[in-house]
Structure 1
Amino acid sequence: MSTTEPVEDRAAVLAGVGGWVPPHVVTNDDLSAHLDTSDEWIRTRTGIRTRHRVSPGMATSDLAVEAGRRALDSSGDDRAGAVVLATTTPDRICPATAPDVAARLGLAGVPAFDVSAVCTGFLYGLATAAGLIATGVAERVLLIGADAFTTIVDPTDRSTAVIFADGAGAVVLRAGRPEEPGALGPVVLGTDGTLSHLIRVPAGGSRQRSLAATHSPGEQFFQMEGRDTFRHAVDRMATASRQAVAAAGWSMGGVDRLAAHQANARILHAVADRLGIPAEHQLSNIAEVGNTGAASIPLLLAQSAADGGLEAGHRTLLTAFGGGLAWGATTLTWPKLSAG
C-alpha cells in the first residue's frame, strides 16, 4: 500500500484496545506449597497476590489471538494492514508467531512479524507500527504484546517464579493527525548491550547450539540479576520518561496517568517518586496479574480503560524496561474508545 499524504502529516492514532489473561489463576499460597516462600514475603517484595498461567498445550499465539480480537472489536473494524507481535516467548524459534496470529484473525496476506525486546517489546512495537503508518505501508496496524513467560521460568526459582506470569494486550493504531486525541507522541528508545547478562536465557540460541554441547542445568530458563536490574530499571525508565514528556511539549506535572511496565511494585513506586507523579495518577494491575512481559503495558491499558482508571482526555505517559538492556517511553492523550 502507498499513500500520497505527506509523511510529516501522518500520525499513529490509538483506535482500539483489548487484553486477555488465561483463566488458570495461581495464588501466592499455591506457590508457597512448593517454594520456600509465603504470601507475605511475595506481597511485600513484589506487590503481587495472584497471576495467570497458561494451561498445558496453550501457547503465546492463543493469548495473542484473543487480545487481538478484542482490540479489533474495540476499534469497530476487524481489518488491519499489518500485524506486529511483541514477544519473548514465540510459539517456536522459526517461523515467527505473528503470521499465524494474523491468519487466525482473518488477516492472512498482510505483513506480520515479531518484535523481540523483552519487557520493552510493546514500546518498540509502537515505534514500529508508527513507522509502518508514517511510510504508508499500512493505514491500520494491530500491535499485540503477548508472553507465556511461565514457560521459560524455572518453577523452583523463587526469585522469578513468583513474579512472572502470562497474558496478552493489544492496540489498533490507525493513520491520523498529530493533533488528534490518541496520537502517539515522540517515542524514546534505548539499549545497552554491555549489560545483557543481567536479564537472559543462556541456552537455546545460536551461540550455545554452535558449541555442539548440551546446556548446563538451568540455562534453558530465564535468569535475572535482581539488584542491578532494579537500579537500572528505575534510572532508565525515569530518564526516558522525562525525555518523552519534554519531547511532547508537556510538563511532568501535567501527566494525568502513568502506565509503567508492571515489573515489580517497588520499581513502580520508585519510578513514580523519581518523576513526582502522585499515587492517584499511577495505573497498576500487578497485584492481580504479575509481570506479563511484553503484554504488561497494553494489558494495563485495556484493564484501566475498562475499569475507569483511564478516561478520554487523560494525558498518559507510557514507559518500560527490560532485557537487552532495553528501555522506552512515549506519550498520548487518551481517546474515547469502546471497551475491548
Structure 2
Amino acid sequence: MNNMGAGIAITGCGSAAPEAILTNYHLAQMVETSDEWIKTRTGMSNRHIASPTESLSQLSAVAAKNAIAMAGISATDIDLIILATSTPDDMFGSACKVQGLIGATNAVAFDLTAACSGFLFALINATQFIRNGVYRNVLIIGADVLSRWVDWSDRASCVLFGDGAGAAVCQGISDGDRLLSYGMYSNGSQNDSLNLNYQSDCQALVDGIIAQQGTYHPITMNGKEVYRFAVARVPEAIEKAMFHANLTANDIDWLLLHQANQRIMDAVAKRLKIPSEKILSNIAEYGNTSAASIPLALDAAVREGKVKPGDTIAASGFGAGLTWGAAIFQWG
C-alpha cells in the first residue's frame, strides 16, 4: 500500500481478563498482609488470575476482536499485529497464534518485549509503519499473564500482579494526525531493580561441552527503587512530550499511566499539576497487569463514556529494563 504522509488515529479498543478474581482477603489467607495494608500502599483490591485453561493468546484474541469491532473493520483488514508481552505462551512468540485465532489472514505478526512499557512502545512502533505508508491498519495488543511468574510466598510482590489483555486499532488517516508527540527511554544501569531472570542448571554433553538447562524464576523487585524511578522519570517524559506537542497541563483531558501503584499515579499527577480526577485508574480491579494495564484502563474509560472523541490523553508506560516513555494522543 502507498499512503505516504498518513497520520494516525486510534479508532477502536478492547480488553479481556480472566474470570477468577483474587482479592486482598484471599491474599491475607496466603501471606501476612491485610486488605487495609494493600489498599493503603497500592490502591489495589482485586486482580484477575488466569486458570490452567486460559492462555495469553486467548485473552489477547478476545481483546483484539473487541477492538476490531469498535473500529468498524474486519480482521482481514488488519495489516500488522504487534503483541507486547513479557509472558508469551511460546518462547518463540505468541503474536502469530493470535493472528490465527482472530482470522487476520492478511496480517504479519510479531511480539515486542518491553515489560510494562510494552503497549506504549507498540503504539510508537505502529505509528512508524503507518506514517511511512507501509501499513494502514495496525492492531496493537498489550497482554501479560504475570501470575505464572509470581512468588506467591513473597508478600511484597505477590499482592501486586494480575493477568489481562488490552488492544487498540491504529489506522492511517489523511485529515491530520491524532498522535501529537511521543518519547521512549531506557536505563540499563538500573536493570536489576525489576527482573524475571533465567536461571540455568549445567548439563554436560560430550568432551567438556556444557549446555544450560533451566527455567525462569519468579519476579524480583526493588520496590523503593522502582517507585523513585517512576515518580522522577515519568513526569519528565510527559513534560517533554507536552512541550513537543505545544501543549500545557491545562490542555490534557486525561492522564493514562501504567497501573503500577495508585501512589505513583497520584504523585505523577501532582508534579504535572494535573487534577487527580483526570487520572484514568482501574488498578483497584486489576492490579498491575504489565503491558495490559494501559489498554485495559483506556478501554474501560471509553466504554464508560468518560473518554470521548477528540479528548487529549497523556499516556506513559514504565517498568522493567528499566524502560519508560510517553505519548500524547487524541482519542478517536
The interval holding the TM-score normalised by the smaller chain is: over 0.9
Match of 2:94 in 1: 97
How many Å apart are 1:236 and its aligned residue? 1.3
Q: How many angstroms apart in 2 are the aligned matches of 1:261 and 1:103?
A: 28
Q: How many angstroms apart in 2 are the aligned matches of 1:304 and 1:138?
A: 28
Q: How many angstroms apart in 2 are the aligned matches of 1:140 and 1:111?
A: 11
Corresponding letter in the other structure for 1:91: D
Task: Pick one of 51, 57, 65 that aligns with 2:53.
Answer: 57
The reply to whether residue 188 of structure 1 matches residue 186 of structure 2 is no
CA root-mean-square deviation: 2.0
Q: How many angstroms apart in 2 are the aligned matches of 1:226 and 1:178?
A: 44
DSSP 3-state at the match of 2:63: helix
Corresponding letter in the other structure for 2:281: S
The reply to whether residue 135 of structure 1 matches residue 155 of structure 2 is no
The reply to whether residue 173 of structure 1 matches residue 165 of structure 2 is no
Match of 2:252 in 1: 255
Match of 1:234 in 2: 231
Match of 2:79 in 1: 81
How many Å apart are 1:158 and its aligned residue? 1.0
Gaps of 5+ in 2: 203-208
Q: How many angstroms apart in 2 are the aligned matches of 1:307 and 1:260?
A: 18
Corresponding letter in the other structure for 1:92: D
TM (normalized to structure 2)? 0.93
Match of 2:242 in 1: 245
Matched residues, percent identical? 37
Seen in structure 2, the aligned counterparts of structure 1 residues 297 and 33 have a Cα distance that, compared at 3 Å, is same
The superposition leaves residues 14-53 of structure 1 with CA deviations (integer Å, 9 ceiling, x where unpaired) of 1111111111111100111111111111111110011101
Q: How many angstroms apart in 1 are the aligned matches of 2:181 and 2:199?
A: 35
The superposition leaves residues 246-292 of structure 1 with CA deviations (integer Å, 9 ceiling, x where unpaired) of 11111112111100110001111111111111011111100111111
In the alignment, is the contact (CA less than 8 A) between 1:99 and 1:108 conserved in 2? no
In the alignment, is the contact (CA less than 8 A) between 1:169 and 1:298 conserved in 2? yes
Q: How many angstroms apart in 1 are the aligned matches of 2:210 and 2:217?
A: 15
How many Å apart are 1:135 and its aligned residue? 2.2
Alignment of 1:148-297 (within 5 A): 148-177=145-174, 179=176, 183-203=178-198, 212=211, 220-297=217-294
Corresponding letter in the other structure for 1:104: L
Match of 2:64 in 1: 68
Corresponding letter in the other structure for 1:241: I
Corresponding letter in the other structure for 1:189: M
In the alignment, is the contact (CA less than 8 A) between 1:283 and 1:309 conserved in 2? no
Task: Pick one of 22, 30, 53 that aligns with 1:34.
Answer: 30
In the alignment, is the contact (CA less than 8 A) between 2:201 and 2:213 conserved in 1? no
How many Å apart are 1:211 and its aligned residue? 7.5
How many Å apart are 1:108 and its aligned residue? 3.1
How many Å apart are 1:320 and its aligned residue? 1.2
Which deviates further from its counterpart, 113-122 or 251-260?
Answer: 251-260
Gaps of 5+ in 1: 336-340
TM (normalized to structure 1)? 0.91
Seen in structure 2, the aligned counterparts of structure 1 residues 328 and 197 have a Cα distance that, compared at 3 Å, is same
Which deviates further from its counterpart, 251-260 or 306-315?
Answer: 306-315
How many Å apart are 1:168 and its aligned residue? 0.6
Corresponding letter in the other structure for 2:274: I
Q: How many angstroms apart in 2 are the aligned matches of 1:222 and 1:89?
A: 12
